[in-house]
Amino acid sequence: MSSSKTTIKDVALKAGVSIATVSRFLNNIPLKEGNRKRIEEVVKELNYQPLLYARRLAGGKLDTFGLIIPGYEGIFYSFYALEIIREVASSLGVKGIDLHLNIFWDKDNFKTSLIDGVIMADVIGNENQLKRLVAEDVPLVVINRQIEDVDVSCVAVNNFKGAYEATEFLVHHGHKRVAHLAGDLRVKCAQDRVEGYKSALEKNGVALLKDYIKITNFSRKEARFKLEELFSLKNPPTAVFCCSDEIASEVLNFAEERRIIVPKELSVVGFDDNPHCLYGNLMLTTIRQPLKAMVQQAVKILEENVESKKSTQQIVLDTELIIRDTVDFI
Amino acid sequence: MSSSKTTIKDVALKAGVSIATVSRFLNNIPLKEGNRKRIEEVVKELNYQPLLYARRLAGGKLDTFGLIIPGYEGIFYSFYALEIIREVASSLGVKGIDLHLNIFWDKDNFKTSLIDGVIMADVIGNENQLKRLVAEDVPLVVINRQIEDVDVSCVAVNNFKGAYEATEFLVHHGHKRVAHLAGDLRVKCAQDRVEGYKSALEKNGVALLKDYIKITNFSRKEARFKLEELFSLKNPPTAVFCCSDEIASEVLNFAEERRIIVPKELSVVGFDDNPHCLYGNLMLTTIRQPLKAMVQQAVKILEENVESKKSTQQIVLDTELIIRDTVDFI
DNA sequence: GTGAAAGCGCTAACAG
DNA sequence: CTGTTAGCGCTTTCAC
């Protein structure tokens, strides 16, 4: 009530200083200790909160970052999205930065005037938006995706390498019939994982079978159809590398129903290290994505860019193989 | 680049009118058709976008709503949270309203100056924040929770009734040994579901056994421990009503492992109608929460409150029993 | 209908 | 170190 109406003027008046001095106080510019203290008291007493938009209009910052996430189901309905939102909110929270969330559905309605900078979580379907933001010179960092044709900072995960390691891990356990349940290939990370898988087989002299690569679009339902197909094959796989832990846990369910013993008869590796997929008596062997680190890096870079235009940076973080129960020698 | 610098002045100049007229145009105030058209052209040509904070400072709206979600794991890491975020983002998106997302961790750092109104998704741990916002007279709607001691609008789900129906449905199938895997009782909806469960048993003359109520905190892991306990009982339950579909699907996993046939030997009812829990060959019988309807109602009420202070409203929406495969007669 | 002018609350020179 | 002052871009009286 009252607090929403108190302005810098009221504070200045009550503290017996000019509004400029109060402004300095708000911006942590050194003051005579006496004044600093008096103002601090008055601010508390009046429960004064500066109007951020007035501040911004006068040239200050909004202390708000935007986060743009594609509304595409495979992304937005995933562990990934919530984890990103959570981590962005969390890292911004400790810095006192607010979060403006925008889901990109089909048209670009992101209002740049409400933020100091933007994090784009992956780019799928909104490539034009990316270009527009770059053109408007909005401080920007893209996560989980490397952008080749636009000069923009990004922090990504080495999906290729992660997939390579996962697949090689299976091969090193003697598996020759390794299937891959892939994600939606419109999503870059899904593509990269397929490539990593292929490359690992090739480098290790294992024949690549087309029938062993199945697209799931990250959906459990789709995964199930594809599993039926895989296990109707003359030579069903002895190992499956999955594009996500959720898909992997569907493999576990499927195996359970079919009485296929994991890992004795079937080895499984996931991707994500999603804690929600760690249940049952079998702990999933998986590739951990450094999502938190990725977000933290992105926030750091964005802060720098907001402070002063820096040159763009491209960072690629490594994944980590987490060895648990679902892989065995054949 | 250019667009981020074009102001109302540029538009006025180029269109040969005063800035006041452009402002009128922006606010859909009737103009002479000639002017309207000219301004429209110039706006498009210059790719002009009004600076929202300047507009707000001058008395206009920001067209931004805040969404506050408790950071508490059981909420924030759930289907519920993502669904709420998704639906809020979606309903606001079509109205051209932006979303300011705030996760409440431990201290109240929500800046009301960046929004026109606030939706609070449940209130757990941040009761003081709620009171502060009410005191500051910020337009506010609480969802998924009825607030008794504060005069505020809310849109909630009838969790009691939903749980009652679920439990009664089991009892009507002849079950006398009905267990309940409850959520975290600090969360109001979890409490209500326990009460609904109890009430249904009582009304139907089924003995209430303390050992049949187990707290899971909405976590699969915890659910598994409690399932072990339940099925070590001298008289294990023949039916389980779960606080969420995720917990229910854990029951399905557990049953599968123990070779307990669902629904022949064990009936299961969930809560949520979470599409992510619809996999495998058994489709879960569950209670559907009208989350989307809830959010839409909340947005509607909030819009009204922003336009003109209305009296507070309290709306309770009914759940729906979705009958699928996991309940059978005993 | 339209224009001129007065702010909204704050920051950032510029003097002192 | 501090106060004075001129805006930031927009809306909104108030005249015309």
User: DSSP string covering B246-313, please?
Assistant: HHHHHHHHHHHHHTPPTTTT-EEEEEE--GGG--SS-PPEEEE--HHHHHHHHHHHHHHHHHS-----
User: Alpha-carbon dihedral of residues A188, A191, A196, A198, nearest 10 degrees?
Assistant: -170
Nearest residue, CB atoms, B256 vs list A109, A113, A256: A256
Interface test with B, best of A57, A64, A84, A87 (most B CBs within 10 A): A57
Cross-chain Cβ contact A224/B279 below 8 Å: yes
Interface test with B, best of A276, A277, A278, A291 (most B CBs within 10 A): A276
Q: Is the CB of B30 under 7 A from strand C?
A: yes
B209 touches chain A (CB under 8 A): no
Which residue is it, tokens 């000219």?
Answer: B38
Q: How far is the CA of B37 from the C1' of C2 (A)?
A: 15
User: E strands, B165-209, where?
Assistant: 178-182
Could you read off the pLDDT of A65-97 as tens digits, one per residue?
999 999 888 788 888 888 899 999 999 988 889
Q: What's the average model confidence in pLDDT over B318-328?
A: 97
Q: Which of A211, A202, A253, A206 is nearest to A231 (CA)?
A: A211
What nucleotide is nearest B49 when CA is compared to C1'? D9
Could you read off the pLDDT of B152-190 as tens digits, one per residue?
999 999 999 999 999 999 999 999 999 999 999 988 999
Cα→Cα distances A15→A1, A23, A146, A181, B262, Å:
21, 13, 52, 67, 72
Could you read off the pLDDT of B53-74 as tens digits, one per residue?
899 888 778 889 999 999 888 7
> Sign (positive/negative) of CA torsion B27, B30, B35, B40?
positive
Structure tokens at B235: 């008289």
What nucleotide is nearest B113 when CA is compared to C1'? C9
Which residue is it, tokens 């606010």?
Answer: B27
Nearest residue, CB atoms, A77 vs list B3, B67, B82: B82
With 60 as the cut, is the pLDDT of residue A128 above it? Answer: yes
Whether residue A110 contacts residue A130, with contact meaning beta carbons closer than 8 Å, is answered with no
Structure tokens at B217: 């905190």
Q: Quote the DSSP letter at residue B215.
A: E
Please give the angle made by the CA atoms of A318, A324 and A330, to the nearest 5 degrees.
105
Structure tokens at B237: 């339950």
Dmax over CA atoms of chain A, in Å, equals 87
Whether residue A215 contacts residue A221, with contact meaning beta carbons closer than 8 Å, is answered with no
Close Cβ partners of A59 (under 8 Å, ≥ 6 residues apart): none
The letter for the amino acid at B109 is: N
Cross-chain Cβ contact B101/A100 below 8 Å: yes
The letter for the amino acid at A32 is: K
Q: What one-character-per-residue DSSP string does A285-309 give?
A: BEEE--HHHHHHHHHHHHHHHHHS-
Q: For chain B, what's the residue count?
A: 330
The letter for the amino acid at B95 is: K
Which residues 28-67 in chain A show a CB within 8 A of chain B? 49-54, 56-57, 62, 64, 67
What is the enclosing helix (H) or strand (E) of A130?
helix A127-135
pLDDT of residue A265: 97
Q: How far is CA A42 from the centre of its chain?
A: 42
Beta-carbon pairs below 8 A across chains A and B: 150
Structure tokens at B56: 């707000």
In the sheet with A140-143, reading across from the earlier edge strand, the strands are A314-317, A153-157, A140-143, A117-121, A64-70, A98-104, B98-104, B64-70, B117-121, B140-143, B153-157, B314-317
What is the enclosing helix (H) or strand (E) of A314?
strand A314-317
Q: How far is the CA of B46 from the C1' of D9 (A)?
A: 16
The letter for the amino acid at A108 is: D
With 70 as the cut, is the pLDDT of residue A2 above it? Answer: no
What nucleotide is nearest B27 when CA is compared to C1'? D11
Q: How far is the CA of B6 from the C1' of D16 (A)?
A: 29
Q: How far is A279 from chain B (nearest CA, A)?
A: 6
What integer best gives the mean pLDDT of chain B?
92
Model confidence at B2, pLDDT cuts 50, 70, 90, reads: very low
Q: Which of residues 32-91 of A touch strand C (CB under 7 A)?
A: 50-51, 54-55, 57-60
The letter for the amino acid at A291 is: L
pTM for this predicted structure: 0.89
Which residues 276-305 in chain B show a CB within 8 A of chain A? 276, 278-281
Cα–Cα distance measured from residue A51 to residue A10, given in angstroms and rounded to the nearest whole number: 13
What nucleotide is nearest A12 when CA is compared to C1'? D3
pLDDT of residue B3: 38
Ramachandran bin of B259, using left for φ above 0, alpha for ψ from -120 to 50, beta for the remaining angles: left
Could you read off the pLDDT of A276-300 as tens digits, one per residue?
787 767 899 999 999 999 999 999 9
pLDDT of residue A3: 38
What integer best gives the mean pLDDT of chain A?
92
Q: Is the CB of B51 under 7 A from strand D?
A: yes
pLDDT > 70 in chain B, percent: 98
Helix (H, G, I), strand (E, B) or coil at B13: helix
Cross-chain Cβ contact B253/A253 below 8 Å: yes
**What values do phi and psi take at B129, rounded to 5?**
-60, -45
pLDDT of residue B5: 78
Nearest CA in chain A to B113: A51
Nearest residue, CB atoms, A1 vs list B71, B77, B136: B136
The letter for the amino acid at B49 is: Q
Which residue is it, tokens 């079998």?
Answer: A282
In sequence order, the β-bridge partners of residue A242 are A181
Q: Is the CB of A59 under 7 A from strand D?
A: yes
In chain A, residues with a C-beta closer than 8 Å to the C-beta of B261 are none
In chain A, residues with a C-beta closer than 8 Å to the C-beta of B96 are 109
Close Cβ partners of A148 (under 8 Å, ≥ 6 residues apart): none
Model confidence at B79, pLDDT cuts 50, 70, 90, reads: confident
Determine if the peptide bond prior to B30 is cis (ω within 30°). Answer: no
Nearest residue, CB atoms, B77 vs list A82, A93, A114: A82
In the sheet with A267-269, reading across from the earlier edge strand, the strands are A213-215, A178-182, A239-242, A267-269
Could you read off the pLDDT of A145-176 as tens digits, one per residue?
988 889 999 999 999 999 999 999 999 999 99
Q: How far is A104 from chain B (nearest CA, A)?
A: 9
Which nucleotides in chain C have some atom under 7 angstroms from a protein Cβ?
1-5, 7-13
Cα–Cα distance measured from residue A116 to residue A122, given in angstroms and rounded to the nearest whole number: 19
Model confidence at B25, pLDDT cuts 50, 70, 90, reads: very high
Cross-chain Cβ contact A276/B220 below 8 Å: yes
Q: Quote the DSSP letter at residue A206.
A: P
Helix (H, G, I), strand (E, B) or coil at B161: helix
Model confidence at B281, pLDDT cuts 50, 70, 90, reads: confident
Helix (H, G, I), strand (E, B) or coil at B159: helix
In chain A, residues with a C-beta closer than 8 Å to the C-beta of B217 are none
Cα–Cα distance measured from residue B31 to residue B35, given in angstroms and rounded to the nearest whole number: 7
Cα–Cα distance measured from residue A16 to residue A7, given in angstroms and rounded to the nearest whole number: 14
Structure tokens at B55: 């507009």
Could you read off the pLDDT of A208-219 as tens digits, one per residue?
999 999 999 888
Model confidence at A60, pLDDT cuts 50, 70, 90, reads: confident
